Structure 1
Amino acid sequence: MSFPELLFFPNTVKVRDYRAGGGLGGSYGEPRTLPAEVIDVQELVRNAAGQEVVSSTRVTVHLDANVPLGSLVTVWSQQLGAEREAEVLRVGRDENPPPLPSHLILWLK
């Protein structure tokens, strides 16, 4: 038994992976499009420095998407006037036994 992709990932997002740099700081890769679930919800999360910050959007993508912390994610690109790009504040893993998909959870600024 398998579930249709659109059941768990009904949206798409564009991700520009953060690439750590030297003394000049990091950079971002070319955009890639990923199937996702996007939920606009305000949540209090801890960032990489352990500080409590407010996340405005939670995005779920396939586990093998490997989205680095600090990447830029564009959500709602198909919605006129709703498109926005936000930084990934936190990345979590949710591993499930088949037939459920394992996925990454991205909390965006």
Structure 2
Amino acid sequence: MSQVKTSEFITITREQLVRYAGASGDFNPIHTNMVLAKDSGLPDVIAQGMFIMGLTGTQLSKWFGIHKVKQFDVKFTAMTLPGEEVQVICTLHDETSGEVIVRNRNEEVKLRGLVELN
């Protein structure tokens, strides 16, 4: 029997992206500079994939406990823009494994992956 956990929606802000750039050392301007992002053909700055993965890991840790999350692997499937609201959804197939996705309010999947628990 599957168990589904769903987070509240989280609004992605420009401030979060700038703070993450500083914390991670990822200073690619497509994440922080709107002019350069648009010059690169993007509609706006985009969230760092690892930032979205970090949100996912944080939520998994809240649900299951930091020591119970053994591993999670993800594939980034769509860009995330400032102002988008995303939520984390985890479907456990059994006590130790499941699938995780991050999607926006339009149900566009931003990240898809697998989670393994101890």
With the shorter chain as reference, the TM-score category is under 0.3
**Structure of greater Rg:** 2
Higher strand share: 1
**Higher RCO (CA 8 Å, separation ≥ 6 residues):** 2
Higher helix share: 2
